[in-house]
């Protein structure tokens, strides 16, 4: 999922290439899960003929200021693509989330070298589908530049607002970690009042906005703080180190355009996606636990619980990287999300409706449970985790086989151009 550096890279790209240009044409997907609170036709009409005046960001949200309201606002599930349609081999910019950009860099090789480096991240080849079938908003500007906001997994939210900064979710965000950093005194004072694990607190967007899972892991590793350490128990020295590391990690990631391949080799970022038992940083073993409802990478040798938590800490054991029970990937913003598989099992001890697990003094046989083919929340097959609620029901009741998913084709027409978007019916 994109975090502050990825969204800031997108904002800067739009600011550099799109300011002062008029929207000539737009195509908005008929997808109410992503396009929130407005019909595709109304959205298209509101953009047509407008000039892009500025691009703004707070936390993981970005919005375009046009010459008159309403303004399109983006809460990203993926990061936008910009492409120069007049010369398919000489594109302007393409931005992806960090993991995707790394794969693109590996496949493109020398295409990301030389004079191009300052202008773009990776290429849209003339053999690629354009716009993508996962495009949610496609915009053509008066000079031929095209923008496509894509979201394969449908985690983004796109809204049309008169004043995005004063409306939820942006109005509910805490200070931006890059633009409005807390002073050291403000941070120490805030932490002293928080009886919550430090990683869960960093993921709370109402506390500090823009920090997501990988940034929180990196900051805590660099500051040598255990992810489960209670925030109010941190020493002054730990608070000082945390304040410094938040600034350094975010500024470095932004300076290199959120290009993971250019992050320092000493960062835990490069190994946090490896399998347990095979992940190391500077020769030290990385282990995985659940913290703040998210899979968390940390180095036990360097990040130790302190104070009263140290005495209560169980022996460290490597854990699975996937945290079950999450409803969607946006749980970066929910520090109270389920934290472990054990917690989920505890919740399901009592069956639905409070039905007793015994009958006439005898134990009932265990309920059959539907087994998911994959719990990998980083899968790029376009699926999401909306089926969690259905899975919960199948733990107590056997359901008939689900009908085979079918593809649904959708055609959207704008002017003389027809865009065909194919998506899976959910």
pTM over 0.85: no
Nearest CA among 339, 345, 348, 4 for reference residue 196: 339
Q: What is the pLDDT along the chain (426 residues), one digit of tens a residue?
A: 689 999 999 999 999 999 999 999 999 999 999 999 999 999 999 999 999 999 999 999 999 999 999 999 998 755 444 444 443 323 233 333 233 333 333 222 222 222 222 333 444 555 677 788 889 999 999 999 988 888 888 888 999 999 999 999 999 999 999 999 999 999 999 999 999 999 999 999 999 999 999 999 999 999 999 999 999 999 999 999 999 999 999 999 999 999 999 999 999 999 988 999 999 999 999 999 999 999 999 999 999 999 999 888 765 454 555 555 444 444 444 444 444 444 444 444 444 444 444 444 455 555 554 444 334 444 444 334 444 444 444 444 444 454 444 443 333 333 333 344 444 444
Cα separation, 64 vs 6, in Å, equals 16
Specify whether 60 is catalytic.
yes
Task: Strands of 6-126 (E only): list them.
Answer: 23-28, 52-58, 61-66, 71-75, 81-84, 93-94
Residues 6+ apart with CB under 8 A from 281: 221, 266, 267, 268, 270, 271, 299
Helices (DSSP H) in 261-381: which residue ranges? 308-312, 341-347
Q: HSE of 348 in the Cβ direction (CA atoms, 13 Å)?
A: 20
Specify whether 3 is catalytic.
yes
∠ Cα 350 351 352 (to 5°): 125
∠ Cα 185 248 54 (to 5°): 95
Cα separation, 52 vs 73, in Å, equals 13
Domains and CATH numbers, the chain: 4-172 (3.20.190.10), 184-309 (1.10.8.50)
- Catalytic position from the list 2, 70, 72, 169: 2
Residues 6+ apart with CB under 8 A from 8: 57, 178, 254, 258
- Catalytic position from the list 3, 140, 146, 287: 3
- Catalytic position from the list 6, 50, 58, 60: 60
Cα separation, 350 vs 419, in Å, equals 50
Specify whether 40 is catalytic.
no
């Amino acid at each position: 999922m994109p975090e502050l550096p990825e969204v800031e890279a997108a904002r800067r790209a739009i600011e550099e290439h799109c300011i002062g240009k008029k929207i000539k044409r737009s195509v908005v997907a008929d997808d109410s899960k992503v396009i929130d609170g407005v019909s595709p036709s109304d959205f298209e009409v509101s953009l047509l003929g407008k000039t892009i005046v500025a691009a703004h960001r707070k936390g993981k949200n970005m919005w375009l200021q046009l010459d008159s309201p309403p303004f399109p606002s983006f809460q990203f599930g993926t990061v936008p693509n910009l492409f120069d349609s007049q010369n398919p081999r000489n594109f302007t910019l393409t931005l992806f989330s960090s993991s995707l950009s790394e794969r693109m860099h590996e496949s493109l090789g020398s295409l990301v070298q030389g004079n191009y480096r300052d202008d773009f991240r990776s290429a849209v080849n003339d053999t690629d589908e354009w716009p993508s079938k996962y495009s949610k908003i496609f915009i053509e500007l008066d000079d031929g530049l095209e923008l496509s906001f894509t979201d394969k997994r449908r985690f983004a939210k796109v809204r049309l607002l008169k004043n995005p900064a004063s409306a939820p979710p942006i109005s509910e965000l805490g200070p931006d970690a890059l633009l409005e950093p807390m002073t050291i005194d403000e941070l120490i004072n805030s932490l002293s009042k928080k009886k919550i694990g430090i990683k869960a607190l960093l993921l709370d967007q109402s506390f500090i906005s823009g920090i997501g899972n990988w940034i929180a892991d990196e900051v805590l590793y660099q500051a040598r703080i255990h992810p489960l350490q209670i925030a109010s128990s941190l020493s002054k020295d730990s608070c000082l180190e945390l304040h410094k590391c938040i600034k350094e990690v975010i500024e470095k990631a932004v300076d290199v355009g959120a290009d993971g391949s250019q992050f320092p080799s000493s960062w835990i970022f490069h190994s946090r996606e490896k399998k347990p038992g095979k992940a190391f940083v500077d020769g030290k073993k990385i282990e995985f636990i659940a913290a703040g409802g998210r899979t968390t990478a940390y180095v036990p040798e360097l990040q130790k619980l302190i104070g009263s938590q140290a005495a209560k800490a169980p022996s460290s054991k490597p854990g699975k990287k996937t945290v079950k029970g999450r409803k969607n990937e946006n749980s970066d913003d929910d520090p109270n999300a389920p934290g472990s598989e054990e917690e989920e099992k505890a919740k399901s001890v009592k069956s639905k409706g409070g039905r007793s697990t015994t009958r006439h003094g005898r134990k009932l046989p265990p309920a059959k449970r539907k087994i998911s083919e994959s719990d990998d929340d980083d899968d790029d097959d376009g699926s999401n985790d909306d089926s969690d609620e259905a899975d919960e029901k199948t733990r107590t009741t056997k359901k008939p086989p689900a009908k085979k998913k079918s593809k649904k084709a959708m055609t959207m027409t704008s002017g003389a151009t027809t865009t065909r978007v194919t998506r899976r019916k959910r």
